[in-house]
Amino acid sequence: MSPRGSNIALPPLLVLSSLLVVGAALPVPGDDPGVSLPPSQSAPPDTLHLEIGSPEVDGRVFPVHRARNRVYVDGGTTPVTTWTNELVLGDSAGRPVMRWITRGEQLAAGGATWELLQTYDAHTLEPLTYSLTTGAGAETRLRFEGNRVVGTRRAAEDAAVEQVDRVLDRRGFFAGASDLIPMAVGLRAGTVMTAPVWSPGMETPEVRVFTVLDRETVEVEGARVLAWKVEERLQSTGRLLATWYLTDRSPYMVLGETVLADGRVRRITGVSLDDSR
């Protein structure tokens, strides 16, 4: 949710389907080396080139909902990390907004805990605010003013508060919720789109390429789910960052797979917590 800065590895939204890291970035897709393709294969001529405000992107497809995500590594059957994502829709000075609430923990003894609060424009998915706090006392609080990012950051409970004031070369969608982008455009076999993404641990936004492949049935927490398979690659190198399995209802992201630096596969499952589903 999603879901890059200090060294505490946290999750994605939906991943909000997504992973996040404290103080600047949580493990969102793109942190780890993966499979590469030549850059010439990254963006076919008929690609949709998206930016914040592109008419093809419509976040209003997402209703209020709650979901739980779990992370498994290298085929393991015991989760190592878990978090919940909740979407609340609201209004900010007449502007429709989506507010994502993510609370998670690492499941090993003494594992980190965190709360991530984010606000996006409900239509365009433009990031507006970002607030991450951890059980160890680290905090990052940011607001977005066009290309400018301002706020504060504290690496630990007893650390000094640092001021953040940066100007990015372009606006970007939040990297920790990159799976929202293809769903907000629409899932149709063969659709290819590019979009700039950014998170607090990145120097500048980078362009990702999303390719909607086909529907596949996948195993998710003991259930078989029919979902759209979507690949996410880094445009500059063609490197595969993540494979998402997405649906049109809660939890939307039912499965995500990323390749860790040591070659192991990290699997992120998503299960709806809505009583009506």
- pLDDT digit string (tens) for 64-75? 999 999 999 998
Please count the other Cβ atoms lying within 10 Å of the Cβ belonging to residue 19: 33
Distance (Å, whole) CA 20 – CA 16: 10
The pLDDT score that the predictor gives to residue 57 is 98
Q: Residues with Cβ < 8 Å from 222, sequence gap 6 or more?
A: none
What are 99-137's pLDDT values in tens digits?
999 999 999 988 999 999 999 999 999 999 999 999 999
One-letter-per-residue 3-state SS of 108-139 = CCCCCEEEEEEEEECCCCCEEEEEEEECCCCE
What are 41-94's pLDDT values in tens digits?
445 658 999 999 999 999 999 999 999 999 999 989 999 999 999 999 999 999
Read out DSSP for 175-239? GGGTTHHHHHH---TT-EEEEEEE-TT-SS-EEEEEEEEEEEEEEETTEEEEEEEEEEEETTT--
Distance (Å, whole) CA 243 – CA 182: 12
Lowest-confidence region among 17-21, 44-48, 55-59, 151-155: 17-21
| 39 burial level (CB within 10 Å; 0-12, 13-18, 19+) | middle
The pLDDT score that the predictor gives to residue 260 is 85
Of residues 181 and 10, more confidence is placed in: 181
Element (H, E) at 37: none
Say whether pLDDT at 153 is over 50.
yes
Please count the other Cβ atoms lying within 10 Å of the Cβ belonging to residue 158: 7
Distance (Å, whole) CA 252 – CA 246: 5
Element (H, E) at 2: none
pTM of the model: 0.85
pLDDT band at 259 (very low <50, low <70, confident <90, very high): confident
Q: Residues with Cβ < 8 Å from 145, sequence gap 6 or more?
A: none
Pairing mode of beta strands 173-174, 192-198: parallel
| Rg, the chain, Cα only | 17
| 113 burial level (CB within 10 Å; 0-12, 13-18, 19+) | middle
Give percent above pLDDT 90 in the chain: 78
